[in-house]
Amino acid sequence: MSDSSISSDIIRGHIDTIILRVLCDGDNYGYEIIKAIFKNSDGRYELKEPSLYTSLKRLESHKLIASYWGDESQGGRRKYYQVTEAGREAYEKALASWKVAKELIDHLIERREEV
Amino acid sequence: MESLQHYVDQLFQKYRGSKQIEELKWEVLSNLEAKVADLVADGLPLDEAMKKAKANLPSIDSIVGECRKVYIVPFVQELLQLGLLYGLIAWIVTMPLRIWGMGIYLSYSLFAICILIGIVYLILLGINRPDSSHHLTSMNVRFAFLLRKTGWMLWALYFVGTFIFTTALYFGSNLWFSTPVKLTGPYQFATIAVTYALPLLSILIPLWLHAIPRLILKYDAGEGDVIAK
């Protein structure tokens, strides 16, 4: 249990980027975004709904994504999200900085035998 | 799906009256529906699926967020309008009390309050220029809800307190020392009735506070709104 809470703490700071990545593959609505993330993680990570809405709201207010209402013939209308040009740029930037951070953190916290 | 609608209605119960919240509500509902449909397709019984979907979203407080940018001029206008309305109601209701000694002061002071609110309201209406109506102020929704709750609690306390005090004043000696209660006529009866009923009028104050959170959400500018300057 504590394992999963530690990793979700680390993931939390990257939820925006994770959602941007999903939306870069195509427009999508809330529940499908959660499902796509679940699938991308091979079933190891499920994004909670409150975090999803908070993140979508933040992304939209920063104009990284835009939303529109779908025209479903049956059931409730779905709100779809689409990544904007600024959103794609932000995603690429976040990806690049993550790679740098990942390499650095690996260096910093992984114990290795001195050769 | 009936029960999902009901569940979402409940989640949003205390946040009503803004377009943004209304849209969030539709979004939440459609996502919950999609989730339940998906779980059912995976072979879960319907009620089981409902339970699981609901468990994932026990509250929307964190989504709605605390601080809101509010169009301050129309917000204050509507709040004053409501205050004026309540003030006038209080003034009219207490008019018959002018025949009592203190009643005349109460009536005058309520009238003065109405005039005061009315003047401020008219001034605000007067400066309703487009640039000032776009002025934004940050407001804390949670604090407004807290204020509303505190208002009701203090009022309840006050009302119960005056109720007990009045009872002790008029009927205390009857209860404790069995002195007979003297009601010599309709005037005496009315005096007691008024003493009991007057504190009830103060319910208008918590009612007024009650409107604040609703108005904040109503005049919420939304985070992403860009206002043409």
In a domain, A74, yes or no: yes
Under the banding of pLDDT at 50, 70 and 90, the label for residue A100 is: very high
What pLDDT score was predicted for residue B5? 85
- Report the gap between the CA of A95 and the closest CA in chain B (Å): 25
Distance CA A31, CA B229 (A): 37
Number of A:B CB contacts under 8 A? Answer: 60
Q: Are A30 and B224 an interchain contact pair (Cβ–Cβ within 8 Å)?
A: no
* Mean per-residue pLDDT, A63-91: 86
In a domain, B190, yes or no: yes
In a domain, B229, yes or no: no
Domain residues for B153? 67-218
- pLDDT < 50 positions in chain B: 224-229
3-state per-residue secondary structure call for B191-211: HHHHHHHHHHHHHHHHHHHHH
CA angle A95, A97, A103 (to 5 degrees): 100
Total structural domains in chain A? Answer: 1
CATH number of domain containing A76: 1.10.10.10
**Alpha helices per DSSP H over B42-140:** 46-55, 61-64, 72-93, 103-126, 130-133
Q: Are A31 and B26 an interchain contact pair (Cβ–Cβ within 8 Å)?
A: no
The torsion region of residue A110 among left (phi > 0), alpha (psi -120 to 50) and beta comes to: beta
Domain residues for A42? 2-109
Neighbours of B157 (CB within 10 A): 10
DSSP letter assigned to residue B220: B
Q: Is B60 near chain A, with CB under 8 Å?
A: yes
DSSP letter assigned to residue A14: T
Distance CA B205, CA B226 (A): 35
- Report the gap between the CA of A105 and the closest CA in chain B (Å): 31
In a domain, A115, yes or no: no
Using one digit for the tens of pLDDT, what is the confidence trace for B1-58? 568 888 888 888 777 656 677 888 888 888 888 888 888 998 888 888 888 888 888 8
* Whether residue B81 sits in one domain with residue B16: no
What pLDDT score was predicted for residue A75? 62
Total structural domains in chain B? Answer: 2
CA of B220: how far to CAs of A36, A58, B12, B23, in Å? 32, 16, 16, 13
In a domain, B224, yes or no: no
* Whether residue B115 sits in one domain with residue B54: no
The residue among A81, A90, A6, A80 whose CA lies nearest residue A45 is A6
Q: Are B103 and B94 in contact (CB under 8 A)?
A: yes
Percent with pLDDT over 70 in chain A? 90
Q: Is B23 near chain A, with CB under 8 Å?
A: yes
- Report the gap between the CA of A81 and the closest CA in chain B (Å): 11
Q: Write down the ipTM of this complex.
A: 0.81
Helix (H, G, I), strand (E, B) or coil at A50: helix
In a domain, A22, yes or no: yes
> Which of A30, A48, A61 is nearest residue B31 as measured by Cβ atoms?
A30
Under the banding of pLDDT at 50, 70 and 90, the label for residue A115 is: low
| Mutation site for B-interface testing, chosen from A78, A80, A81, A84 by largest number of B Cβ within 10 Å | A78
